Structure 1
Amino acid sequence: MLEIHQFACLSDNYGFLVHDPVSEETVCIDTPDGEAYMREAAAKGWQITQIWNTHWHPDHAGGNAAIKAATGCTIVAPAEVERISPIDRVVKHGDTVTVGEHEAAIIDVGGHTSGHIAYHLAEDEVAFVGDSVFALGCGRMFEGDPQQFWASLERIRALPSQTMLYCAHEYTQSNAKFALHADPDNLELQLYVQEIGDRRARREPTVPTKLERELLTNPFLRADREDLRNRWGGTTAAETFAKLRAAKDSF
């Protein structure tokens, strides 16, 4: 069984260290703060052996160089990360990577950035999704287009419903306000928002989130539903998604 250590870093990022106690390998999922990752790994007594980047933004790959210099680890990433960091192994949709005997499938989730990827560890029922999807939200569409982004979200929707989604930021309360605006009659969403408020009042994280719940409450994953299409317009799910994303950008 993999051990996942989650910790807060920068202003609102989460860092993740994935450790296999059998092989003693440890993977950094993205590197928003290299010093924080090395400090957390040292506190756990873990040796960093790999970095798995989801996309090129500095709050996801900015610590690569420092960690590589200190540990000699292998950097695995989509080609776009070469904008800010050398890569040891370039990966794309359909490839696999391993930590010990645990295999992760690479999923194309482009839209936030064109080459964004996610890592799905099916046997462990977890996926590291970066900024492609959040609890009750999704990333801004900086480089992609609505059709590409919606296709990415469909790939996430197709994962087993019990999959825990490890997204990279604590944006959930802000996302919840827009979700209620987008889908005000959703009773499951109303219950979820109350729970989120309670958890944040106790200073507890809202990440990870279970895909099963996001499928019932996250408006960006529900853009194919007739009630949302009627409310927001769009003859296709991608068009409805585009309207939702534009509304969130100015909300």
Structure 2
Amino acid sequence: MMDASQGYHKIMLALENRERVNFITSAGTFRYVAMSFGLKNAGVTYQHLVDKIFHPQIERNVEVYIEDMLVKSKEAKDHITDPEEMFFVLRNYRMKLNQGKCAFGVQGGRFFGFMVTQRGNKANPLKIKVILDMKAPTNVNKVQMLPGRIAALSRFISKAADTSYQRAFEELKKYLTRLPLLVKPTQGDTLYLYLSTTPKLLALYLFGKKYVTKYQFTMLVKYSMEHKDSTLLSRKWL
């Protein structure tokens, strides 16, 4: 496993574009002559470069993602010739490596978010630990975070979506076609108040017979009882 050092600087900027990357210091105004970090599409441009120069090796004995490079050998005897081929390309294009981030002769390691081993790819234990340490989602933001964390491990989860998930999805689509109308109540309408309480939470929902009103009230019981600034209107429901 190898990591390129200052690889972006190997790509020279066109003369007509250098004036667009000026920067000011106490010593004066300067401009980049090589591609720097932070430029739009810099990562895509560098990926195109490494795909081009390592094209004969990619998928055969090399995998490259931006500055991360992985040399893979099927047999121990090839672990000398394969890196030699890689070093020849690096030397030919004057690319340097970050010595502190390189490892040679290892049987596995972390690459592109996965644990690569001689037997295959394993899930990253750190990503698993994040999910194991999670508490049950209690708000919209935490619920939205969960699918993203699961998606990072989805390829390792057998039957992540079976027929029960498909049925649930179809039921959701049917429900979305019958969503109630949100309107303000008019005088004389019959309204229904639904109350739900827990030791820490109080929620009120106001429904009409044929529609749902736009009124929804949720409050923390503990906050209401302990803080003087809570309104009398909210306290009368306790």
Task: Give me the TM-score of the superposition, normalised by structure 1.
Answer: 0.23
Task: Give me the TM-score of the superposition, normalised by structure 2.
Answer: 0.24
